[in-house]
Structure formats: structure tokens, C-alpha cells
Amino acid sequence: MPNMSLQKHPMPEQQPEIRATNFQEVALGYTREIAMEEADRCLHCKNAPCVKGCPVNVPIPDFIAHIKKGEFQEAYETIRLQNGLPAICGRVCPQETQCESKCVRGIKGEPVGIGRLERFAADYAMTEGTVSAETAAPTGKKAAVVGSGPAGLTCAADLARAGWDVTVYEALHTPGGVLMYGIPEFRLPKALVQKEIDNIRKLGVKIVTNAVVGRAMTVEELLEEGNDAVFVGSGAGLPNFQKIPGESLCGVYSANEFLTRINLMRAYTFPEHDTPVKVGQRVAVIGGGNVAMDAARCARRLGADVSIVYRRSEAEMPARKEEVHHAKEEGIHFRMLTNPKAILGDENGFVRAMTCVEMELGEPDERGRRRPVPKPGSEFELPVETVVVAIGNSPNPLIKKTTPDLPTETWGGITTDEHGRTGKKHVYAGGDAVTGAATVILAMGAGKKAAQAILEDAAKEE
């Protein structure tokens, strides 16, 4: 008889008042006993609806069955059949809208804690188990991958496993993409990301950092150098701004810069590491997505009084519910239905306040979300010294500009078919560079599909 508890086992975590003062991981992970108990909640449904909710089709009931029997290494290997970065996905995937949203245990009670179990199995393999680095015999084929985020790394790993010689070119000095520079340490420890990347290196994948494709070399040159395929996984790292007055004042950051300083450059350890970040006593973060939550929670950990300023209501916030919950627990204020109009500076050009207007919900827009409209006469000043703009990112235009025959969308994304084939021969793309800002698992899924297409196309050409 399975464990019929209606609740999933809570995740042990740091207390809010303690964690709001440090950058260590908030969620501490299941113990073996808790993992086995939670695994016992799975009914091993024949049709496994949870698998259909997973963008990379992890055999969920199979890996959970292994955990239930205490076969943790086997559980990990089962996940790795479909997912190359399980320790990362177990932490940051929006399971509540994917696998767990389809779990039958969720009909009456909470779904099985699939993400927490995935994290458990991955952490076990990384600390006590083994991670295989088996590859097929060398095929003599060569590929270049642009960008080392989850899309690029997944494509590189799959090609290397198939016996290809793969080189990843990364613009930054550390590989990992958003996993390293965007998502904060307290949600995704960087040592763990690097361990996952080391596992990919063990497959023979070479990673060249500080290599900006479009500057150091072009996509065309990578093809001319003898690469049989080029995969572009360059992400969407160009920050959007609201284009309101005052955005060039000192104390205004894009969330990208703010998070890169804090995560990649470890500004919270300054001067031990040499990149500072200036955070005032009062910080406003504009936006309602995961990026806004991450920026707000970082600013809070640096000692600020932080407000999220979002023009719609909480129901429309795109951030994961868990992140909103954690942010609230940590004392972050939520100013919903509030739209910034201008950022105001002092005589020295530093931010001193933000003018905002209150909003109310009007008629639904084309996506069915009620459109916020300004409430007449509701303008007010919010005193702040730092403003972080987290209203979305777009693909950087560099690859597009330097690869004139690469088809792109008007908004800047690279055009591909559903398998990642671009209109340019031997060039493939996937992840945020194609979809715009999305999720880690969708980027990985795109990297996987493109690797498959590369292998199929190469086989046809032989």
C-alpha cells in the first residue's frame, strides 16, 4: 500500500530570517529516509501522465521506483537517460506547471514531489555515486557550439556521446550561461553547476571561454574551419528597458548587470573578489518574473529594504509561486498594480526616488489577461536609492548581424523548424536565442532536438 499522505514531504530549508542574511542555498534537500517516503507516494500509473508533462520525457515513475527501493544510483542513471543536468533541473524547473501539474496524486492533495526527488537522486550521484562518461567511438565528425548555457551544453553533450568532436565557444570567462550569471547561489549553487559542466567535459567536450562568436570568429568561419555543424545557443541576454525618464541615472541597473555582478563576480564578497555592487538602503525592482524575484532577494541579502513594483496583480505574475512565497517570507514588499513613470535623481545624478502611478485592471488583452490602466490622480513618489529593471531580455543581435544569411524573426530570435534547423545549411539553433526568454528545461529540450537533427542530417549526407 503506497504512502497515501495528501501532502508532499516539505523541503527542509533555511529559516527566512537567517537566509535573508546569507547567500547559501535556501532549500537543503531531502534525506534518504524522506526521499524514500516521498517516493512511496507514487502510484506508478501505467499511462504516466507526469512524463507527458516533462519537456524532455524523463521516465519519472521508473526513477521514483528506484528511489523507493533505495537504489539511488540507478534512479540517477534513469533520469540521465533523458536529462543531462538533473541536479540543476531538480532545483530550478517549474515542476508545478510541468510534470507535477499532471501527477494524479495532485487531483486530491499535493502531487508527488518529483522535482525534489530528482534533485535528491542527482545530489546522491554527485556526492556518493558515480557519473558515467561513456561515448560512442569517434566518428571523425566535428561540431562547434555557440554559448554554454543549458541549450548549448545539452547539444554538446549529446553530440559528444555520439562520438563527435565538440568545441563550445563561450563569450564570458566562465561557462554555464544564466545558470552561472543569472540564477543566484542561494537557489543554484555555482559549484554544483561547475560539477555538471565538468561531467560534460569528461565526455570530451572542449569549452573555449572569452570567445565571442561574431567578434573573435563568425559562424561562417566556424563552418569553413571544418565543422560539420554549428549549433547556436547564445540565449537572450540583452536587457529590455521601460524607456522612462531617469534610466541612465547612477543607481539604475538592468537585472542582468545586477545579477552578473552578484552571482558571477561574487560582489557580495567584495573586496575579496574585486567587483563591487552599489545597493542603497531602499531598492525598487521593476517586474514580476523569476528574474525580478532573484534580483529582489539578492538586494535583500545585501541589507536593503526591497520593493517589487509590478504593474499587474499578483495573479498575473509570471514568477514561480515558490519564488514569490520565498521572497515574501524574506520580507520583500510587493507593490502590485503599480507602474513606474520616471526615476528621479539628486543634484549629483544619483537616484533618489521613483514616480509611480497606481493601476487598475481593465478589459482583457489578446492573451486574456486583464489590461492594467492608470488610476486617474494616483501618482506618488517612492523614495529609493537603487532601481533594478527586470522586465525581460531579448536575443543579442551580434550573431544575426554577423551571419547575414541566417533567417531571424523581426523581434530578433533565430528562425528554426521544430528540430532546430535554421534556414542556413549546417547551422542549428535552440533555447532562448530562438524562443526568447523561457526556461532551462525548454532550452535543454531544444539542444537535445537539435543534436538529434544534426546526427540525422549528417547520416543522410554520408
* Residue closer to ligand FAD (CB basis): 39 or 443: 443
The residue range among 52-60, 270-278, 393-401, 450-458 that interacts with ligand FAD, by the rule CB under 6 A, is 393-401
Contact 400, 429 (CB under 8 A): no
Residue 48 interacts, among ligand FAD, ligand SF4, none and using kind-specific CB cut-offs from 5 to 8 Å, with: ligand SF4
* The one-letter amino acid at 269: T
Report the 3 state secondary structure along the chain: CCCCCCCCCCCCECCHHHHCCCCCCCECCCCHHHHHHHHCCCCCCCCCHHHHCCCCCCCHHHHHHHHHCCCHHHHHHHHHCCCCCHHHHHHHCCHHHCHHHHCHHHCCCCCCCHHHHHHHHHHHHHHCCCCCCCCCCCCCCEEEEECCCHHHHHHHHHHHHCCCEEEEECCCCCCCCHHHHCCCCCCCCHHHHHHHHHHHHCCCCEEECCCCECCCECHHHHHHCCCCEEEECCCCCEECCCCCCCCCCECEEEHHHHHHHHHHCCHHHCCCCCCCCCCCCEEEEECCCHHHHHHHHHHHHCCCEEEEECCCCHHHCCCCHHHHHHHHHCCCEEECCEEEEEEEECCCCEEEEEEEEEEEEEEECCCCCEEEEECCCCCEEEECCEEEECCCEECCCHHHHHCCCCCECCCCCECCCCCCECCCCCEEECCHHHHCCCCHHHHHHHHHHHHHHHHHHHHHHC
Pairing of strands 252-254, 386-389: parallel
The residue range among 191-199, 334-342, 349-357, 434-442 that interacts with ligand FAD, by the rule CB under 6 A, is 434-442
Task: Examine residue 399 and tell whether it contacts ligand FAD (CB under 6 A).
Answer: yes
Choose which of 183, 308, 332, 343 interacts with ligand FAD (CB under 6 A).
Answer: 183
Choose which of 150, 246, 288, 420 interacts with ligand FAD (CB under 6 A).
Answer: 150
Residue 45 interacts, among ligand FAD, ligand SF4, none and using kind-specific CB cut-offs from 5 to 8 Å, with: ligand SF4
Q: How far, in Å, CA of 224 to CA of 411, rounded? A: 29
Site for ligand SF4 in 14-43 (CB under 6 A): 42-43
Neighbours of 217 (CB within 10 A): 17
By CB under 6 A, the count of residues binding ligand SF4 is 14
Choose which of 36, 39, 50, 442 interacts with ligand SF4 (CB under 6 A).
Answer: 50
Choose which of 36, 122, 157, 259 interacts with ligand FAD (CB under 6 A).
Answer: 259
Residue 61 interacts, among ligand FAD, ligand SF4, none and using kind-specific CB cut-offs from 5 to 8 Å, with: ligand SF4
Task: Examine residue 61 and tell whether it contacts ligand SF4 (CB under 6 A).
Answer: yes
Per-residue interface string for the shown chain with ligand FAD, residues 35-64, x marking contact by CB under 6 A: ------------------------------
Q: Please report how close the Cβ of residue 177 comes to ligand FAD at its closest, in angstroms.
A: 2
Choose which of 72, 76, 164, 169 interacts with ligand FAD (CB under 6 A).
Answer: 169
Residue 336 interacts, among ligand SF4, ligand FAD, none and using kind-specific CB cut-offs from 5 to 8 Å, with: none
* Residue closer to ligand FAD (CB basis): 84 or 147: 147
The residue range among 97-105, 109-117, 207-215, 448-456 that interacts with ligand FAD, by the rule CB under 6 A, is 207-215
Task: Examine residue 439 and tell whether it contacts ligand FAD (CB under 6 A).
Answer: yes
Q: Please report how close the Cβ of residue 43 comes to ligand SF4 at its closest, in angstroms.
A: 4
* Residue closer to ligand SF4 (CB basis): 44 or 173: 44
* Residue closer to ligand FAD (CB basis): 112 or 222: 222
Contact 13, 26 (CB under 8 A): yes
Task: Examine residue 422 and tell whether it contacts ligand FAD (CB under 6 A).
Answer: no
Site for ligand SF4 in 72-111 (CB under 6 A): 103-105
Choose which of 163, 438, 452, 457 interacts with ligand FAD (CB under 6 A).
Answer: 438
Per-residue interface string for the shown chain with ligand FAD, residues 342-361, x marking contact by CB under 6 A: --------------------
Choose which of 3, 14, 37, 49 interacts with ligand SF4 (CB under 6 A).
Answer: 49
Helix axes 290-301, 321-329, angle to 10 degrees: 20
From 411, 211, 421, 390, select the one nearest 317 (Cα to Cα): 390
Residue 103 interacts, among ligand FAD, ligand SF4, none and using kind-specific CB cut-offs from 5 to 8 Å, with: ligand SF4
Contact 124, 73 (CB under 8 A): yes
**Site residues, ligand FAD (CB under 6 A):** 92-94, 146-152, 169-172, 177-178, 182-183, 212-214, 233-235, 237, 259, 290-291, 294, 396, 398-399, 431-433, 437-441, 443
Residues in touch with ligand SF4 (CB under 6 A) = 42-45, 48-50, 60-61, 103-105, 112, 114
